[in-house]
Amino acid sequence: MSHQVSPPSTPNHLPTVVKKERELSWQVASNLFVSFKYAWAGISYSFKTQRNFRIHISVGALAIALSVFLHLQAIEIAIIGITSGLVLALELLNTAIESLVDLTVKQTYHDLAKIAKDCAAGAVLISALVAVLVAGILLLPPLVILITSNL
């Protein structure tokens, strides 16, 4: 007796699936300029509502300004910029996950909601600790030299 086997999915099926998934979106950005506008709206929302985001922007800007003031090498300034940017990007993702969790479970307690929010917050914390470590390693030695040479 022979069994009929359904054909494996081919790359031809992919565009249909992708198209259907995008159809679930309430609105799709029509062009690159509009995409930037929505991205800026997300950054602006986080800045207005998330105290931690404002703190991270301030600390990151301070670290970059200090590294320029202390005449660090370009590669060192770039490393401080990358680590600071990573913290901000993860803070935005944390805000996105918080919103999705709140949208899904509203004001009810759920263990999975707690895991999602706690892990997202943990990711921000790890990136912030790494940024502080990197900034400390690169900024402290020239800062100490500057301070001691002026005593």
Ligand X SMILES: Nc1ncnc2c1ncn2[C@@H]1O[C@H](COP(=O)(O)OP(=O)(O)OP(=O)(O)O)[C@@H](O)[C@H]1O
Residue 82 near residue 134 (C-beta atoms within 8 A): no
Site for ligand X, rule CB under 6 A: 50, 52, 94, 98, 105, 109-110, 113-114, 117-118, 121
CB 46 → ligand X: shortest distance, Å?
Answer: 10
Residue that has been written with the tokens 């790890």 in this structure: 126
* 23 is an annotated ligand-binding site residue: no
Q: Is 45 annotated as a binding residue?
A: no
Helix/strand/coil for 34: helix
> Which is nearer to ligand X, 71 or 114 (by Cβ)?
114
Cite the DSSP H helix spans in the chain: 14-23, 32-49, 51-69, 74-105, 111-149
Q: Tell me which amino acid residue 86 is.
A: L
Q: Which of 84, 94, 80, 98 is nearest to 56 (CA)?
A: 84
Would residue 91 show up in a list of annotated catalytic residues for this protein?
yes
Would you say 91 is a known binding-site residue? yes
Residue 21 among known ligand-binding residues: no
To ligand X, the closest distance from the beta carbon of 40 in angstroms equals: 20
**CB of 43 or CB of 66, closer to ligand X:** 43
Q: How far is the CB of 134 from ligand X (least distance, A)?
A: 22
Binding residues for ATP, as ranges, are 38, 98, 117-118
Active site residues: 91
